Structure 1
Amino acid sequence: MTIAAKSSTQIAERITEAMLARKLAPGTRLGEQQLAELFGVSRTQIREALTRLVTRGIVTVSARRGWYVIEPTPEDARAAFEARRVLELGLLRHARPISAEAIRALRLHVECEQAALEGDDVASRSFLLGDFHVCLCESFGNSLLADTLRDLTTRTTLTAMQYQSSHHARQSCAEHVGIVAALENGDLEQAEQLMHSHLCNVEAGLEESLQSGRGPLSPLQQALAPLNDHFDKQSFAISPQLKEF
C-alpha cells in the first residue's frame, strides 16, 4: 500500500514528521527503492526529496552506504540548542503582540499535547511537543524562521532519542502552557523569559543523560564492565579439592 504523498517536497516533509514523531531513529537507512514503493513514486523523486533533507542537514549520504538519518553528536546538539535560543528568543524579543486568532491556534495545540499525554500515542505526543515551536513561529507570520526552526527542532529531537534525554513530556507541555498564557496577556518579555527557561530545561535534561553515560554506547559499556565491579571473583575460584575433576 502506498502513502499519499507525491511531490518531493511532500515526501521530505513526511520524513521530517516521522523524525519529530520519533518513528525514524538516528542512523536509520533510507532506501531509495523502499521509499519509492511506499510513496508510489519514482526513485528520482525520492532522491530529490532526500537531497532536500541533506541540504537541510537532517539526512546524510555517501556513495557507498546510501542515505541515512543523521546521528548528532553532543557538540551538534549544543550548537542546535544555541541556534534555537538565538532564533526563538530573538523572535519573541522583537515581535509585535500576537493576534487573537493565533492565540486560539496555540491554545488548541497545547490542548492536543495534553490529550496526547493522557493517551499512549508516543509518536503524536513527541511530534506535537516539537511542532509547538514551529507553530509559534508561524503564529508571528514568519514562515522562513518556521522552516529553519523545524530543522533545528528535528536535530534536537534526534539527539534526545540518541542520548535518552531525561526531560519529561509533561514538563514540556506545562512550560508551553505558560508561554501561551504570557502571549495571551500580551507580555512578550515574560514569554521570552519562559521560553529561555524552557529551552534550558530541555537541554539540561540532555546534558544529564550525557553525563550519566546513557548514550548509544551505554549498553555495551555496561556489558564490558570488569566483573569485579559486580562481585568478588575470588568467590568463584576453584578449590584445590575440585581441580582433579
Structure 2
Amino acid sequence: MKAWEKPLQPASSNVIENRIIQAVLSAEISPGERLGEKDLGEIFGVSRTLVREAMMRLSSRGIVAVSPRRGWFVVEPTAEEARETIEARRSIEVGLLMTRKSISTDAIDHLETHVLEQQRAIDEDDLGRRSYLLGHFHVHLATALGSSIIANFLEELTTRTVLIAALYQSRADAQKSCDNHRRLVHALRENDVEGAVKIMDDHFTHLNKALKTRSRLQRT
C-alpha cells in the first residue's frame, strides 16, 4: 500500500480530491496512472458516487481525465500542452515583475530559503519534492510581489507543472531552474528590476528548449 492509500475515514469528496492532488505533487501518483472508482471507494470507505464527485472536480482542474475503456486516469500533458503552459506562465510572470510593487526584505529572505529547499531536494534526488518546490516557487514569488490573484492562479497550475516536470524535466533541467530562481531572488534583493525580468524571460526560454529536447529524445 502506498502512503497516500492509507485509509482515512470518514472521508469526504474534498478529502479525496486533496489526497490525490498531494499524491500527484509528491510523485506518488504518476502521469497516466489509472484511478479506479471502486478501488478509491474502498481506500476511503465511501461510495463510488462520492469518488466520482472528487474526480469530476479534479477533471475540471485538468489533473485527471476519463475515457470509456480506461476510466479515470491522471493526465499526461503532451509536449504541445506543456509548451502552452510555459508560454502562459511567461506572459503572466514576466508582466508581474515588470509592474511589481515593492518587495520586503522578509519576503526575499523567504524566497532564498525556498531556493535552498529546492537545492536540497535536487541533491537528495527527491523527484517529487524537487518538482513540487520548483513549481511552487513561482506561487511564493507572486505572493511576495503582492498579487494574491496571480498566486492563486499559479497555484492551480502547479499540479499541472509537476506533471510536466515528471514527464519532461531531467535532473540537469531541474538544477538549471533552481539556479535561475537563485539569480532571480538576488536581482530582486539588489532592486534590479530589468535584470529580474531578463532572468525570468530566459528561464522560460530554457524551459521551452529543454521541453523540445526531452520530447525529441522520447520519440527516438
Same fold (TM over 0.5): yes
The more displaced of 137-146 and 78-87 is: 137-146
Please point out which of 12, 19, 23 is paired with 1:18.
Answer: 23
Counterpart for residue 218 of structure 2: 214
**Residue 176 of structure 1 is aligned with which of 181, 196, 203?**
181
Q: How does 1:151-162 map to 2 (within 5 A)?
A: 151-162=156-167
Kindly indicate which of the two structures has a greater share of residues assigned to helix: 2
Q: Residues 171-221 of structure 1, C-alpha deviation per residue, up to 9 Å, x if partnerless?
A: 21111111111122222332221111111112211101223x314xx5xxx
Amino acid paired to 1:22? A
Q: Against the structure 1 CA distance between its residues 187 and 45, is the aligned structure 2 distance closer, same or farther, given a 3 Å change threshold? A: farther
Which ranges of structure 2 fall in alignment gaps of 5 or more residues? 1-5
User: Quick check: 1:97–1:188 contact (8 Å CA) kept in 2?
Assistant: no
Amino-acid identity (%): 46
* Cα distance in 2 for residues equivalent to 1:103 and 1:149: 19
Please list every run of 5 or more consecutive structure 1 residues that lacks an aligned counterpart in the other structure: 219-245
TM-score (norm 2): 0.83
* RMSD over equivalenced CA pairs, Å: 2.6
Q: 3-state DSSP class of the match of 1:24?
A: coil
Task: Out of 177-186 and 16-25, give the one that drifted further.
Answer: 16-25
Q: Whose radius of gyration is greater, 1 or 2? A: 1
Which range is displaced more, 35-44 or 48-57?
35-44
Deviations 1:10-62 (A, max 9, x none): 54344334333333222111222333444455544433332222111221123
Map 1:217-232; keep pairs closer than 5 Å.
218=220
Structure 1 residues 63, 183: closer, same or farther in 2, change over 3 A? same
Relative to structure 1, the CA distance from residue 5 to residue 131 in structure 2 (aligned partners, 3 Å threshold; closer, same or farther) is farther
Residues 169/69 of structure 1: CA separation in 2 closer, same or farther (3 Å cut): same
CA distance in 1, matches of 2:40, 2:106: 38
What's 2:124 paired with? 119
Which of 110, 114, 120 does residue 109 from structure 1 map onto?
114
Which among 109, 113, 133 is matched to residue 128 of structure 1? 133
TM-score (norm 1): 0.75
Partner Cα separation in structure 2 for residue 144 and residue 121 of structure 1: 30
